[in-house]
């Protein structure tokens, strides 16, 4: 027997705002919403089923120890779409592509500073 990842959870300052960003990024639907908590649900049963957002009092202070990797067939266009939604590139205004194991990716931050990769 094995386990699978059911939820990914973010601690954040503003659950509604951050959830709206990630809903736009992933097409997950907002299915539960309170001032201190928001739950997004996947459009199907593949992969991670929910993304959860909990309000916490402390700000993010260091690099994430865990992050989300996103995939797209059109990375340059997706970088621009994500930037228009409020994401930023970690290395400035120009994407710095990293490579390894036959893949390439760029590191970005969501509106609250959580790092994620796009490949």
Determine the structural domain holding residue 104 and report its residue range.
67-119
Position 82 in a domain: yes
Same domain as 20, residue 2: yes
Same domain as 97, residue 52: no
Q: How many domains does the chain have?
A: 2
Same domain as 115, residue 80: yes
Position 88 in a domain: yes
Position 117 in a domain: yes
Mean pLDDT of successive 10-residue stretches along the chain, which has 119 residues:
92 98 97 97 92 96 93 96 98 91 93 97
Residues 6+ apart with CB under 8 A from 73: none
The pTM of the full predicted model, rounded to 2 decimals, is 0.93
CA distance to 5, 53, 56, per residue, from 88 (Å): 26, 20, 22
Position 18 in a domain: yes
Same domain as 39, residue 8: yes
pLDDT at 70: 96
pLDDT at 46: 83
């Amino acid at each position: 027997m094995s386990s699978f990842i059911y939820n990914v959870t973010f601690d954040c300052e503003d659950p509604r705002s951050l959830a709206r960003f990630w809903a736009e990024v992933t097409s997950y639907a907002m299915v539960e919403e309170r001032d201190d908590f928001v739950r997004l649900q996947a459009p199907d049963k593949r992969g991670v089923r929910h993304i959860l957002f909990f309000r916490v009092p402390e700000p993010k202070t260091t690099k994430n120890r865990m992050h989300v990797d996103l995939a797209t067939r059109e990375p340059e266009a997706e970088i621009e779409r994500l930037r228009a939604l409020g994401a930023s590139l970690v290395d400035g205004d120009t994407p710095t592509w990293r490579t390894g194991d036959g893949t390439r990716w760029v590191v970005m931050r969501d509106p609250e500073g959580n790092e994620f990769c796009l490949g």
